[in-house]
């Protein structure tokens, strides 16, 4: 910070109680980049992978906070938080613009070092999918042998999602939602139900002044943002490896194409056809 009577920055921080380097553990953070090859493009892949993991973590924390706000009937608070969450999802999606600059040959120069490492093993991503409601229990399996993270992943699988919290809120506000919607095993995926679609249709009928209308659109911002993330992952992967199989053992782009069809908060998508 500049001192009041000169325009000179303060450069001597000896004795400062919270120097920048400690506040954000910058020295630790910058010691965590250990590429496995000398390939010139590997640092980009490596750092962008770490950036994505940090953003997954940030998003997970924000969505847990949104769930608590919905549980507390604080709809304006949830909408306000989702406004920022939406921007973070957009930032996450923007990282594909950098990764798509990797020519296939640049990627091939270090791909063999990845072995069977794959995005499937991202536990933060899995927890993020779970808090959004994509409860695919099979995909918790890669984490079962990692004691440090196994419990967190299992807890996220069994916890209500943001969408579960939104549906419970709709019910508290008078929507009739049957027990199979509100009382299902939370570790199982939510099955789309016409009662939920009707409830969202009523919300849209109320118009943009209604706080539930604003919540519906704020949730759609997140769902669409994730759709973009998946679509750009698919395009980037197709551009870099074509139709080769994935390091995680799938068919690669064909698997990602199917994954890209998934929609979070399904009735918010289907209700649109009838409005």
Residues that bind ligand HEM (CB under 6 A): 48-49, 52-53, 99, 118-120, 122, 125, 233, 236-237, 240-241, 246-250, 252, 255-256, 259
Least separation in angstroms between residue 233's CB and ligand HEM is 6
Chain centroid to Cα 197, Å, comes to 24
* Partners of residue 9 on adjacent β-strands: 2
CA distance 110 to 103: 12
**CA geometry: angle at 94 spanning 230 and 234, to 5°?**
25
Nearer to ligand HEM by Cβ, of 213 and 255: the residue is 255
Nearer to ligand HEM by Cβ, of 49 and 77: the residue is 49
Query: Between helices 211-241 and 75-99, what is the axis angle to 10°?
Result: 10
Least separation in angstroms between residue 181's CB and ligand HEM is 25
Chain centroid to Cα 104, Å, comes to 27
Least separation in angstroms between residue 81's CB and ligand HEM is 23
Least separation in angstroms between residue 211's CB and ligand HEM is 32
Query: Both tokens of residue 36?
Result: 């496995």
Nearer to ligand HEM by Cβ, of 96 and 163: the residue is 96
Least separation in angstroms between residue 166's CB and ligand HEM is 22
Least separation in angstroms between residue 29's CB and ligand HEM is 17
Least separation in angstroms between residue 86's CB and ligand HEM is 19
Q: Please spell the DSSP secondary structure of 238-250, one letter per residue.
A: HHHHTTPPPTTSS
Main-chain phi, psi angles of 2, to 5 degrees: -70, 145
Query: Between helices 211-241 and 253-260, what is the axis angle to 10°?
Result: 170
- Three-state DSSP at 179 gives helix
The number of CA neighbours under 13 Å toward the Cβ of 216 is 25
Nearer to ligand HEM by Cβ, of 118 and 210: the residue is 118
Nearer to ligand HEM by Cβ, of 55 and 212: the residue is 55
CA distance 216 to 166: 9
Least separation in angstroms between residue 241's CB and ligand HEM is 5
Nearer to ligand HEM by Cβ, of 53 and 221: the residue is 53
Helices (H) and strands (E) in the chain, counts: 13, 0
Nearer to ligand HEM by Cβ, of 240 and 268: the residue is 240
Nearer to ligand HEM by Cβ, of 72 and 90: the residue is 90
Burial status of residue 152 (CB atoms within 10 A of its CB: 0-12, 13-18, 19 or more): middle
């Amino acid at each position: 910070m500049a001192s009041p009577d000169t325009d000179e920055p303060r450069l001597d921080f000896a004795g400062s109680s919270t120097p920048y380097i400690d506040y954000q553990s910058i020295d630790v953070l910058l010691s965590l980049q250990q590429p496995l090859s000398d390939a010139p493009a590997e640092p980009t892949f490596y750092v962008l992978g770490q950036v994505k993991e940090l953003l997954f973590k940030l998003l997970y924390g924000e969505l847990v906070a949104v769930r608590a706000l919905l549980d507390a009937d604080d709809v304006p608070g949830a909408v306000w938080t989702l406004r920022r969450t939406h921007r973070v999802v957009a930032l996450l999606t923007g990282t594909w613009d950098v990764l798509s600059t990797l020519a296939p040959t640049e990627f091939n120069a270090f791909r063999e070092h990845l072995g069977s490492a794959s995005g499937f093993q991202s536990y933060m991503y899995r927890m993020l999918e779970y808090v959004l409601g994509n409860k695919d229990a099979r995909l918790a399996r890669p984490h079962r042998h990692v004691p440090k993270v196994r419990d967190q992943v299992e807890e996220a699988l069994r916890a209500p999602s943001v969408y579960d919290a939104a549906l419970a809120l709709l019910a508290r506000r008078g929507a009739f939602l049957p027990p199979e919607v509100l009382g299902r095993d939370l570790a199982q995926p939510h099955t789309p139900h016409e009662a939920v679609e009707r409830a969202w249709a009523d919300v849209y009928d109320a118009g943009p002044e209604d706080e539930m209308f604003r919540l519906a659109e704020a949730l759609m911002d997140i769902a669409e943002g994730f759709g973009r993330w998946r679509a750009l992952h698919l395009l980037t992967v197709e551009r870099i490896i074509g139709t080769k199989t994935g390091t995680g053992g799938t068919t690669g782009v064909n698997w990602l194409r199917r994954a890209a069809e998934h929609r979070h908060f399904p009735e918010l998508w289907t209700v649109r056809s009838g409005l």
